[in-house]
Amino acid sequence: MNQFVKKAVRFLPIVALTAMSVAFQSCLDDDDNSALYRPTAVVTVCPAADGKFSMVLDDETSLVATNMTSSPFGDKEVRALVNYTEDSSYNGGKGVYINWIDSIRTKEPVIIHVDEDGLTYGSDPIEIVRDWVTVAEDGYLTLRIRTLWDGSGKPHYINLLSGMDPYNPYELELRHDAQGDINGQYGDALIAFNLNNLPHSDRGPVKIKLHWNSFSGKKSLEFDLTMRNETHGDAPKNLVAASLLK
């Protein structure tokens, strides 16, 4: 395994979302000297045709790794947590030295027909945690989610639905199928959705409205999202280790 890929929290693109043990190492908790263990940012890892890669930090900033020549995630574009140190010796952009990087499960939204109710995607309650990793940028919606886990390792399915409003593809609904795992303790995980393939123009940000079924009833939240500028291509704590995601 690539030495820069963090082993404590692996979001492997296999089947579904599973509750396991606390993700980040215990030294994250209260140690002021543990900066290297905390994520610096959430980025989009963008592989290039020549095998190299860049990282989109926000809608205006790209990062170039000075100590890695190829993406540890191969040819997949993913969102990721990264810990980096700025490298002032790099010329030609914002160079960074990657201390560690860990992918977030990244997927496309599900497009459904207006006549569908989407019940096959579940309606179990889920919470969206409003902190710095819950963000809409670079055409992606990245969410820190919270729900109940019984520790059995049973998969939870998380999907983002679009198409319920035929006139607005940005009226979105987050669906959770807990597969019967509805007891236990609260735990958090991260998931990201690539919305760049939804219809949009280049006239600035779009307004997306996200709906979900929380433990206290229906909720919604609006985000301003700027879609991908193609030129980009060339410390949450106590997260559930979501090692199986779909």
pLDDT tens-digit profile of 165-197? 888 999 999 999 999 999 999 999 999 999 999
User: Are the folds of 17-105 and 106-232 the same?
Assistant: no
β partners of residue 41: 82
Q: Name the CATH topology of 106-232.
A: Immunoglobulin-like (2.60.40)
Measured distance CA(138)–CA(114) in Å, rounded: 27
Task: Tell me what percent of the chain is helix, strand and coil, each rounded to the nearest 5.
Answer: 5, 40, 55
Q: Sketch the domain layout of the chain as residue ranges.
A: 17-105, 106-232
Count of CB atoms situated within 10 Å of the CB of 108: 14
pLDDT tens-digit profile of 45-59? 999 999 999 999 988
pLDDT tens-digit profile of 69-122? 999 999 999 999 999 999 988 877 799 999 999 999 999 999 988 777 778 999
> Is the whole model's pTM more than 0.85, yes or no?
no
Query: What is the CATH superfamily name and number for domain 17-105?
Result: NigD-like N-terminal OB domain (2.40.50.500)
The structure tokens listed for 31 are 């140690």
